[in-house]
Amino acid sequence: MATISFLGAAQEVTGSCHLLESDSFGRILLDCGMHQGGDIIERLESDDFHFNPQTINAVILSHAHLDHSGLLPRLVHQGFDGPIFCTKATVDLLRIMLKDSAGLYERDLERENLRRKRQGKKLLKPQYRLQDVEQAIHQCEGLDYLQSRQLTQDAAFTLHDAGHILGSAIVELNFKERGRDKCLVFSGDLGKRNAVLMNDPSYLKHADMVLMESTYGDREHRNETDTLAQLQDILAETWQRGGNVMIPSFAVGRTQELLFYLGCLHQQGKLDNWQIFLDSPMAIEVTRVYEKWVALLSEEDTAHLQLDHRKPLEDFLPNLFMAVTPEDSMAINKVARGAIVIAGSGMCNGGRIRHHFKQRIWNKNNTLIFVGFQARGTLGRILVDGAKHIKLFGEPYLVKARIETLGGFSAHAGQSGLVKWIGQFKPQPKVILVHGEPQAQQALAQRLWQEQTLAVEMPSQHQSMVF
Tell me if the bond preceding 345 is cis, omega within 30° of 0.
yes
Residue from 427, 407, 406 nearest 415 by CA: 407
Dist CA 446 CA 127 (whole Å): 41
Q: In what order do the strands lie in the sheet with 17-22?
A: 140-143, 84-87, 58-60, 26-30, 17-22, 3-8, 464-466
CA gap 415, 189 in Å, rounded:
13
Q: Rounded CA gap, 192 and 223, in Å? A: 10
Do both 256 and 156 map to the same domain? Answer: no
In a shared domain, residues 399 and 435: no
Residue ranges making up the domain that contains 386: 224-409
Nearest-10 Cα torsion for 257, 259, 260, 261:
90
Determine the length of the chain.
467
CA 184/CA 187 separation, integer angstroms: 10
Q: Which residue in 251, 254, 260 sits closest to 285, CA to CA?
A: 251
Domain shared by 392 and 340, yes or no: yes
Residue 355's domain is classified under what CATH number?
Answer: 3.40.50.10890
Whether residue 233 is found in the same domain as residue 208: no
Same domain, 419 and 355: no
Q: Give the chain's largest Cα–Cα span.
A: 70
- CB of 407 within 8 A of CB of 215? no
CA torsion sign for 150, 151, 156, 160 is: negative
**Same structural domain, 389 and 434:** no
C-beta neighbour count of 273 within 10 angstroms: 7
- CA gap 457, 40 in Å, rounded: 31
Give the strand order in the sheet containing 339-343: 320-322, 275-279, 339-343, 245-248, 367-370, 402-405
Could you list the beta-strand ranges (E) of 1-40: 3-8, 17-22, 26-30
Dist. CA 376–CA 347, nearest whole Å:
10
pLDDT at 310: 46
Backbone angles phi, psi at 298, to 5 degrees: -60, 125
**CATH number of 416's domain:** 3.60.15.10
Alpha helices in 340-386 (DSSP H): 353-360, 379-384
Same domain, 314 and 237: yes
Give the chain's domain count. Answer: 2
Q: What is the C-alpha separation between 86 and 169, in angstroms, rounded? A: 8
pLDDT in tens, the chain (467 residues): 899 999 999 999 989 999 999 999 999 999 999 987 667 888 888 778 999 999 999 999 999 999 999 999 999 999 999 999 999 999 999 999 999 899 989 988 998 999 999 999 999 999 999 999 999 999 999 999 999 999 999 999 999 999 999 999 999 999 999 889 999 999 999 999 888 889 999 999 999 999 999 999 999 988 878 888 999 999 999 999 999 999 998 888 889 989 988 988 888 899 999 999 999 999 999 988 988 888 888 877 766 555 444 445 556 788 999 999 999 999 999 999 999 999 988 889 888 999 999 999 999 999 999 998 888 888 999 999 999 999 998 899 999 999 999 877 888 999 999 999 999 999 999 999 999 999 999 999 999 999 999 999 999 999 999 98
Is-contact 171 185, C-beta < 8 A? yes
Q: What is the pLDDT of residue 305?
A: 56
Same domain for 262 and 159, yes or no, is no
Helix axes 88-119, 281-292, angle to 10 degrees: 170
Q: DSSP string of 297-351?
A: S-HHHHHHHT-BTTB-GGGG-TTEEE--SHHHHHHGGG--SSEEEEES-TTSSSS
Residues 282 and 145 occupy one common structural domain: no
Q: Do both 405 and 459 map to the same domain? A: no
